[in-house]
Structure 1
Amino acid sequence: MFRRRCAALSCALSLLFAPFSALPSAAQPAADAPAGWHVGAASRVFHPAAARDWRGAQTEALITRIWYPADPSQPETRQDIGPPGRPIFVGHPVAASAPLSSAHPRYPLVLLSHGTGGSAESLDWLAGALAARGFIVAGVEHLGNNALEPLTRDGFTLWWERATDLSEVLDGMLADPQFGPRVDPARIGALGFSLGGYTVLELAGARTDLAAFERFCTSPAADAICMPPEAARLVHDTGASSLAPTALSPATRASRARAGDSYRDPRIKAVFAIAPALGEAFDPDGFAAVTIPVALLAGSADQTAPVDTNIRRIASLVPRAPVTLVPGASHYTFMDVCEPAAVERLPMLCKDGPGVARAAVHAQTAAQVGDFFAATLAPGAS
């Protein structure tokens, strides 16, 4: 179902995409793993010690959803995702507040970054699948740019700040009395969808060229990435005119001045970007400092983050990164499966093209992502 491109220097990484059962035992998340864990669920609200710019968000904290391996003896129950009484997505069954499995003393951790205006729970299908394979997954609600509260202009446009959200969530997870002692600090990865894909590339060491992106979006070549559909939800209009210097606060100006800084977090050992956005925000030298494993995946019919200016452009700058294009899949194919009642009222999020079975795409994608992290976050992996 999937098409992969293997660049000359990336073929050595083909093991990363072998069936999980075919990987060497050292690549397993933990030795002697049970046939499959149940999925535990918890949440945290992290308050970073250092002062920071909250991007105008109502919630000045890092709300974090956590999925983790629980023993199969812990009963799972169905969960629906969305407003009470009007759920949008079908959630992975979870054993809420169950103890972290005692099968192993420590587990690898994967940080999760959602897309523009989304939420960690919109990627529950993937986080739950990773937890069932023995990973702890921590997904943050990005400040000023999530589905839980109104979007803000700074949350929507200061994308490079999102990398700091994940680094601070990692600080919080390692200091957490329940999860901290159970996280293996040598096996930490990051996974993102859409703008979250851009975010984890920043954690890997990619640098943003804001001026290049703004030139692209004011040129005849500008495409859908310049004005994503979520822009309609902003409290204030964020058209190009709102980015004029006279419209920006001192805090926003200061952030824009550091857009090209490195947000590399050396604790991150591998990243996987799904339908990564903002390919035109990287210049030819933007990935010069990226030395950790990177993998890329998107739908061939993505019209929200068009493949030529996003995943293919990024792939051209990271020649060792394995690339997968899922035939017929759109951008939102990689969000949770929708509840039947939500399909007609939210067609953009819920409807896929002819011949695309979202649940099947999810199953194959989750297996591929799990294999990637099982190999790159294996004990002793480099």
Structure 2
Amino acid sequence: MRRCIQNVTLLVTCGLASMAGAQMPVGLMAVDTREPVTDTAVPAAVFYPALASGEHAGSVMAGPYRVEATSGAAPAPGRHPLLVLSHGNGGTRYGHHDLAVALARQGYVVVAPEHAGNHHGDQSGFGTDRVLLGRAWQASRALDAVLSDDRLGPHVDAARIGAVGFSAGGYTTLLLAGAVPDFSRFDRFCEAHPGTPELCDPPPAGGMHTLSNPPPTADRRVRAAFVMAPLALVFDSAGVSAMHAPVFLLTAEHDEVLMPSANGDHLRSLLPDLAGSREIAGAGHFVFLAPCPPPLVDALPHLCVDPHGIDREAEHARIAADALAFFDRYLPAEG
């Protein structure tokens, strides 16, 4: 079993060393589930350690991305830890495929739901509690779908479950870990910072409160939470007081979408006992998305082009090392 100490520099070093060793082939499969409150369909991609199939690892096209995985490959024997990976506002289940593949190569099963009402093809729930709470319910159902899958479920260790998320997905991960949002903080933020893109301009069209007596969003199965540039302005000290899982926080120095003082830095101040924390110097918000293929660079430069001096591929190697070392520490195998 790999072990790394909590110091951030050594944590990353340990993760990089682990990733440099033998790596497993990766399989890719789809699971479908339904969000329990609104009965909305939620498709998900699952990346998992697979049996070797020939000399070379396979790859498949998933939207604009080439994913380094073999579709439908047989799962590797053994019982593996399980992570749920939550994309950001308007994202996709493949938007962090490189991180999912990197973790699957090291023995993790990673399920990435495409959040209903808040993905690239459907923003109908943007700004509503149907999404802002439903994301967590959808993530929990994605975990259920993997655990109950006839083919993959027997290869998952249900005692070792974690969560990963970016932006609104980071917020989702915090919900799973027990954080409770205060949506009135949105109003106060927008009064102080009117015109903030995505949060305050344009304002949500659906109305924040659409559900009556919504169930809790915490998932006690989630034992570790890795968050990247999270939406965190909706949390206060009371809202994080019941969190049950350790947190690793990654932020970008020049986050142009989620103001650091109100989000990443704010969360850091609320969680003085973070398991780990790192800021990517000089980077903007979207550095956490998978490196873009050329068609996406041309079509969506604001998502794909980083500030001068930022090497997204190199940063993603460090992010994967951070995540691997963190989860190896907090989701250890027995023995």
Whether TM-score is above 0.5 comes out as yes
Q: 2:211 aligns with which of 254, 257, 261?
A: 254
Does residue 134 of the first structure (1) align with residue 96 of the second (2)?
no
* Offset of residue 292 of structure 1: 1.6
Any residues of structure 2 matched to 1:107-186 within 5 Å, and which? 107-147=80-120, 149-152=121-124, 154-158=125-129, 159-186=132-159
Match of 2:321 in 1: 367
Deviation at 1:18, TM superposition (A): 4.7
Residue matched to 2:46: 66
| Residue in 1 that maps onto 2:269 | 316
Contact persistence 2:226–2:247 (CA under 8 A): yes
Q: 2:13 aligns with which of 19, 22, 30?
A: 19
Residue equivalent to 1:46 = 33
5+ long unaligned stretches in structure 2:
none
Tell me, yes or no, if structure 1 residue 270 matches structure 2 residue 224.
Answer: yes
Partner of residue 290, structure 1: 243
Calculate the aligned-residue CA RMSD, in Å: 2.7
Decide whether aligned partners of structure 1 residues 380 and 22 sit closer, same or farther in structure 2, where only a CA change above 3 A counts: farther
CA distance in 1, matches of 2:114, 2:96: 12
Change beyond 3 A, Cα 1:306–1:347: same
SS at 2:222 equivalent: coil
Cα separation, 2, equivalents of 1:283 and 1:71: 45
Residue 225 (structure 1) shift: 5.6
Contact between 1:40 and 1:70, CA under 8 Å: does it hold in 2? yes
2: CA distance between counterparts of 1:306 and 1:376? 29
Is the alpha carbon distance of 1:222 and 1:290 closer, same or farther for their aligned partners in structure 2, counting shifts above 3 Å? farther
Secondary structure class of the residue paired with 1:46: strand
TM-aligned CA distance change 1:220 to 1:61, over 3 Å: closer
In 2: Cα distance, 1:22 partner to 1:363 partner: 8
SS in 1 for 2:111: strand
CA contact (8 A) 1:330 1:353 kept: yes
**Alpha-carbon distance in structure 2 between the residues aligned to 1:222 and 1:13:** 39
2:101 is paired with a residue of what secondary structure? helix
The Cα offsets for residues 30-75 of structure 1, whole Å up to 9 and x where unpaired, read as xxxx811011100011246x5x215xxxxx3120100001133454
**Gap change, CA 1:81 and 1:177, over 3 Å in 2:** closer
Aligned residues of 2:27 and 2:71 also touching (Cα < 8 A): yes
Residues 109 and 188 in structure 1, CA contact (< 8 A), matched pair in contact too: yes
Offset at residue 113 of structure 1 (A): 0.4
**Shift in Å at residue 79 of structure 1?**
3.3
**Alpha carbons of 1:318 and 1:345: their partners in 2 closer, same or farther (altered >3 Å)?**
same
Taking the aligned partners of 2:176 and 2:147, their CA distance within structure 1 comes to 17
Alignment match, 2:166: 193
How many pairs does the alignment contain?
327
The CA deviation at 1:161 is: 1.7
Classify the secondary structure of the residue corresponding to 2:192: coil
Q: CA deviation at 1:342?
A: 2.6
Between the aligned partners of 2:199 and 2:42, the Cα distance in structure 1 is: 27
Aligned to 1:218: 191
2:293 to 335, 339, 362: 339
**Residue pair 1:212, 1:280 contacting (<8 A) in 2 also:** yes
Q: Is the 8 A contact 1:160 1:208 kept in 2?
A: no
Closer/same/farther in 2, CA of residues 243 and 211 from structure 1, 3 Å limit:
farther
**Residues in 2 aligned to 1:338 and 1:73: alpha-carbon distance in whole angstroms:** 27
Q: Secondary structure at the match of 1:192?
A: strand
2:49 and 2:75 in contact (8 A); partners too: yes
Amino acid paired to 1:181: P
Residue-by-residue CA offset, 1:4-52 (whole Å, 9 max, x unaligned)? xxxxxxxx732782533799xxxx89xxxx811011100011246x5x2
TM-score, normalising length from structure 2?
Answer: 0.89
Contact 1:116 1:156 in 2 (8 A): no
